[in-house]
Amino acid sequence: MEYREGKGHIEAFYDPELEYREGKGHIEAFYDPELEFREGKGHVEAFYDPKLEYREGKGHIEAFYDPELKFREGKSRIEAFYDPELKFREGKGRIETFYNPNY
């Protein structure tokens, strides 16, 4: 359950205890059993609800995860697709992320 964003400058780990951290220690997020997800420093908050809706805080970024495994971040600047082979990409080719089932 290791998750890395491309170019090696951001790394995040999702562990079995539902803790999620982004690299460099300046952003931390926790996913709890009540489906609440927060990014660190209190300036970004996101909530994942049972209807598969995901929002990042401050209303300027919204993302929706639909049952067809498509994930979009708001304002159409960034689009990411999660495919059944566990590959995840963020839009514009700048960032690529791979979820490896061996972790």
Asked if residue 2 lies in contact with residue 13, where contact means CB atoms within 8 angstroms, the answer is yes
Q: What is the pLDDT, as a whole number, of residue 70?
A: 41
Q: Can you give the pLDDT at residue 39? A: 41
Please report the pLDDT score of residue 64 as a whole number: 37
State residue 40's pLDDT score: 36
Tell me the per-residue pLDDT of 24-77, one tens digit each, with 9 for 90 and over: 332 333 333 343 444 433 223 333 333 333 444 333 233 333 334 344 443 322
Residues in the chain: 103
Q: What is the pLDDT of residue 53?
A: 39
- pLDDT category at 85 given cuts 50, 70, 90 is very low
Query: Coil, strand, or helix at residue 10?
Result: coil
Tokens representing 103?
A: 């972790």
Alpha-carbon gap, residue 45 to 57, rounded angstroms = 4
Query: Which residues lie across from 14 on neighbouring strands?
Result: 20
